[in-house]
Structure 1
Amino acid sequence: MDLRKLKTLIDLVSESNISELEITEADGKVRIVKADPAAPAQPAAAPAVAMAPPAAQPAATAPVQPAAPAEEPVPAGHTVKSPMVGTFYRSSSPGSKPFVEIGSQIKEGEPICIIEAMKIMNEIEADKTGKVTRILCENGQAVEFGQPLFIIE
């Protein structure tokens, strides 16, 4: 999805009365959830994850450029790609268990990671059933649109 289109959707959600929007296109799926100030669970989880990037981001920002060309030859299997630009997280909060590990059996539609974009936590779901054979990003790493995240066989 085009970054300008994504920003427009985020602006529309923030200015409207809707609390959640999910768009599925041929090149990916985007879910935008507006934080509800009355719900204690959502604000408690989001800041915990949002606090992690300042410590990890300076270290993760520098290696992103050299790492991208090295990751271009993608191994065999189905590649799950990032549907947006943001920060990659393997778990819902810093102390919790990762959604998937290498060797995990996953089903289509099951959450496999989170990408934070503009202070919104976007759950990324598996688009294929199978076994995770590789995790191509580090926790807290900045990712680009279309960047390979996982290999599923």
Structure 2
Amino acid sequence: MQFDHDRLQQLLAFLCETDIQEFRLEEGDFRLEVRRPPAHGSVLAAPVPTPSEPPMPVAPSPVPAAAPPQTTASRSELHEITAPMVGTFYRAPAPGDAPFVEVGSRIGIGQTVCILEAMKLMNELEAEVAGEVVEILLENGTPVEFGQVLMRVRPA
């Protein structure tokens, strides 16, 4: 069985909207387990490696996250870009490539600002507002939770 990106997104969205605490799907050598801790309420999904599919190592990027900037804007004036799913945060399209954005970068609506990897699917996150990136809160390769703030933008 093979999941395409849309089908996986629909399944995870459905599970987020329900009270299901644990979900398991097995078909052939494909196996998917999703568990939601009762205290947190967010869906945690992890692929289970199969004998025919060895786990893929994640190499940390040598690019550190930028330090929080000296800014006079209050947090209430900033737009927060949050994780729409559980996954791994990546600042660049591939190891060794330049990051999508840096602190001080001007971004436009729809511009890719990072990638969240969830179950070996690379999901590009696009900016919802135009403005200037003032904070990047995570280092490359960091696991993230649903709703976690990834970066802050001063709207234009």
TM-score normalised by the chain length of structure 1: 0.55
Q: Deviation digits for residues 22-72 of structure 1, max 9, x if unmatched? A: xxxxxxxxxxxxxxxxxxxxxxxxxxxx9562x44xxxxxxxxxxxxxxxx
Q: Percent sequence identity over matched residues?
A: 49
Deviation (angstroms), 1:128: 0.5
Q: Are the structure 2 counterparts of residues 7 and 94 from structure 1 closer, same or farther at C-alpha, using a change threshold of 3 Å?
A: farther
Unpaired runs of 5+ residues, structure 1, are 9-49, 57-73
Residue 138 in 1 paired to residue 139 in 2? yes
The structure with the largest helix share of the pair is: 1
The alpha-carbon deviation at position 4 of structure 1 amounts to: 3.5
Contact 1:52 1:94 in 2 (8 A): no
Partners in 2 of 1:7 and 1:132 — Cα distance?
A: 32
- Write out aligned runs for 1:20-31 (5 A): none
Q: Give the direction of change, closer, same or farther, for the CA distance of 1:6–1:95 in structure 2 (3 Å limit).
A: farther
Which whole-Å CA distance do the structure 1 matches of 2:11 and 2:146 have between them? 8
Figure out how many residues of one structure are paired with residues of the other and give that number: 94
In the other structure, the counterpart of 2:82 is 81
Tell me the residue number matched to 2:20: none
What amino acid is aligned across from residue 148 of structure 1 in structure 2? V
Distance change >3 Å, CA 122–CA 6, structure 1 → 2: farther
Does the 8 A contact of 1:106 with 1:131 survive in 2? Answer: yes
The match for 2:13 is: 5
Distance 1:6 1:94 in 2: 32
* C-alpha distance in 2 between matches for 1:110 and 1:6: 27
**Moved >6 Å (runs of 4+):** none
Structure 2 unaligned regions, length at least 5:
1-8, 17-54, 61-73
Q: 1:5: Cα distance to partner?
A: 2.3
- Counterpart CA distance in 1 for 2:11 and 2:139 is 23
Whole-angstrom CA distance in 2 between matches of 1:91 and 1:6: 29
Structure 1 counterpart of 2:126: 125
**What SS class does the counterpart of residue 83 from structure 1 fall into?**
coil
Which structure would you say has the larger Rg? 2
CA contact (8 A) 1:110 1:125 kept: yes
Which residue of 2 is the match for residue 67 of structure 1?
A: none
CA contact (8 A) 1:52 1:140 kept: no
Aligned position for 1:111: 112
